[in-house]
Structure 1
Amino acid sequence: MAETGKTRKEDPGAGVGDPSRESLWRPLRVLQEGMDAEIARIYAERRIEGLKPSFVRELLRLHACGPMTIGALAESVGRTHSALSQKVAAMRAAGWVETVAGADARSKEVTLTEQARGVIGRLAAEWRATEAAVAEIEAEIPYPLSRVVVDIERALERKSFHDRIAEKLAEDPAWE
């Protein structure tokens, strides 16, 4: 739902100094959520039930590399062990992966279920189509998102996000 910038009368907190009403992040997050919802709609049209777009990278990686420990899978997709452990739990609950005994008795590996193997070709096709659609969008706009990301990464190399926030907080008496 798009925000119009108008204050609605039924909103009792409007204009009371709520800093969460201003957000430079929100449009980007709303954009990504909307695009993910469109991908989920593609899955629903093909009757791929219970699949979140956020699961697909890991499912494709497991298909390409075979069973992996959570740590190895996390490293391969650039996530923390903790974050990926939670995602694996959600994917397991949805029936996309299972954990099996690893090479030694103490380890477990994540592997695709039959359900996941049955749609993996479609997921790879969707991934390629999504990347092509993003490239098409980037060609239509004057400043490609991939360039924005690189430019932000370079700015953060010059000064970290943490340091930027800490500087602003040091100037704010409410932080003390």
Structure 2
Amino acid sequence: MKPHPDPDAVGTLLRHVLDRLEADVAAVYRDQGLPEYRPRFSPVVRALEAEGPLSIRDLAAAIGVTHSAASQTAAQMARAGLVTHAADPGDHRRRLVALTPKARALLPRIAAEWEATAAAMADLDAELTVPLGGLLAEAAAALERKPLRDRMAEGR
């Protein structure tokens, strides 16, 4: 009998690891009195803090996700009162995402939790044969060079 999750089911295993990581970080935010705050918000907060208001396209590029993922995350954050969407003064066809005063007030707590998460990941990495972040970055780069679809076609 194969162990659960099946190490040959890489997608399932990745989702399992991601779910565990996100659930633990979300629990820390809940414990800190921020039940509406999601771990996926932190890259957005960090990008908007560093760059100022951004279009969804620029936000997606800044955090390394698809336009759709950035749009969905920004919408969740708007519902939580953490970002606003406003017309770009230079181009009224574009909407800019910006941090709200509520989000700005949370910046010290968000930064502290980001640092705590990074330290916890370093502790996890110390138990692994290869640091997880480095391995995932390496895998992402390899798939960018040659998608899995192409690799599968070669195997036929």
In the aligned structure 1, how far is the partner of 2:125 from the partner of 2:33? 29
Higher strand share: 2
Indicate which of 59, 74, 89 corresponds to 1:88: 74
Aligned: 1:49 with 2:35: yes
Deviation at 1:151, TM superposition (A): 4.5
Corresponding residue number in structure 2 for 1:33: 19
Deviation at 1:28, TM superposition (A): 2.4
In the aligned structure 1, how far is the partner of 2:85 from the partner of 2:134? 38
1:31-56 residue CA offsets vs partner (Å, 9 max, x unmatched): 11111111111111111121111111
Indicate which of 93, 113, 138 corresponds to 2:125: 138
Q: What TM-score do the two structures reach when normalised by structure 2?
A: 0.83
Task: Name the SS for the 2:33 alignment partner.
Answer: coil
Query: What letter matches 2:23 in structure 1?
Result: A
Task: Name the SS for the 1:125 alignment partner.
Answer: helix
Query: What letter matches 2:62 in structure 1?
Result: S
Q: How much is the aligned-residue C-alpha RMSD, in angstroms?
A: 2.4
Query: What letter matches 1:146 in structure 2?
Result: G
In the aligned structure 2, how far is the partner of 1:147 from the partner of 1:90? 29
In the aligned structure 2, how far is the partner of 1:98 from the partner of 1:157? 33
8 Å Cα contact 1:70-1:84 kept in structure 2: yes
Indicate which of 142, 149, 156 corresponds to 1:162: 149
Deviation at 1:119, TM superposition (A): 0.9
Indicate which of 76, 83, 105 corresponds to 1:118: 105
Q: What TM-score do the two structures reach when normalised by structure 1?
A: 0.74
1:114-162 residue CA offsets vs partner (Å, 9 max, x unmatched): 2211211111111111111111211222232234325534654664212
Structure 2, unaligned stretches of length 5 or more?
A: none
Q: 5 Å matches for 1:1-12?
A: none
8 Å Cα contact 1:60-1:123 kept in structure 2: no
Corresponding residue number in structure 2 for 1:11: none
Larger radius of gyration: 1
In the aligned structure 2, how far is the partner of 1:49 from the partner of 1:115? 14
In the aligned structure 1, how far is the partner of 2:141 from the partner of 2:37? 34
Structure 1, unaligned stretches of length 5 or more?
A: 6-21, 172-176
Task: Name the SS for the 1:53 alignment partner.
Answer: coil
Task: Name the SS for the 1:50 alignment partner.
Answer: coil
